[in-house]
A and B are shown apart, each in its own frame.
Chain A
Amino acid sequence: MTDAPAESADPNQPAASGQAKILDPTGLHARPAVKLTKLAKTHEATVEIRAGEEGKWVNAKSPNAVMKLKAGSGEILFVRAEGAQASEAVNALVALIERDFDAE
């Protein structure tokens, strides 16, 4: 699901946020992490994710950072973006997570 607009440091910058649950039984493992990173990189906006409400926000375009989240199955991934295409970025990432990363 996506809820916009989110709080933004700069009111002139478009911002968006959303969240989705990890469906894969092994959690956010290497392959989905790479997919998420690649998708985030296709958007100009700054995109960050965190695992759970207490998690630390990390750069969704960094494969290292995303893998190190070690987000488990059933955990909620929070997504937020700021800048051009912010809501497109959030929508795309949330959709990818909801589709279970297009797992075969």
Chain B
Amino acid sequence: MSNFVGIVIVSHSPNVAKGTADMVREMVGDEVRVAYCGGNAEGGLGTDVATIHNAIDSVFGAQGVAVLVDLGGAETNSEMAIEMMDEERQNAIVICNAPIVEGAVMAATEAAGGGSLDEVRATAEEFLS
């Protein structure tokens, strides 16, 4: 399944993260690999680098990974998680500047059509434009 760009959803809320992934699966299908994470160890709101790192790792393939995030810390921690990947992988992972739910659906649609990482990011980001 590594011929499609993978999608990672990072929200402060585990419910938002899971719900977004559910929407992607239902609307786009399951040919694109989607991982999601959210919430802290206490079950509250938050994101952490180790979990994001694992989520990216779980869907990583030859076409790379597009990451969709919600507020501030989700982006900061995703950047950190990417920097902790092997260097040759880092260039194949992008954080999309797009709203998390809409961006994830758009990105996954583009990915399912065989779009490249750049195309997937562009489609997610053009939602607001």
Contact = CB atoms under 8 A, between A and B. Distances in A.
B5 to A, nearest CB: 13
Interface stretch (A12-20, A57-65, A70-78, A89-97): A57-65
A31 interface: yes
Interface string B92-129: 00000000000001100110111100000001001100
Nearest to B112: A38
Contact of B113 (A30, A31, A41, A64): A41
A63 B106 contact: yes
Interface size class of chain B, counting residues whose CB lies under 8 Å from the partner chain: 10 to 19
Interface of B: 26-29, 105-106, 109-110, 112-115, 123, 126-127
Interface in A34-48: 34, 37-38, 41-42
A42 B127 contact: no
Interface residues of A, number: 11
Contact of B114 (A37, A41, A62): A41
Contacts of A62: 123, 126
Given A38-B112, A41-B113, A42-B113, 19 more contacts: A30-B27, A31-B26, A31-B27, A34-B27, A34-B28, A34-B109, A37-B109, A37-B113, A38-B109, A38-B113, A41-B114, A41-B115, A61-B113, A62-B126, A63-B110, A64-B106, A64-B123, A64-B126, A64-B127
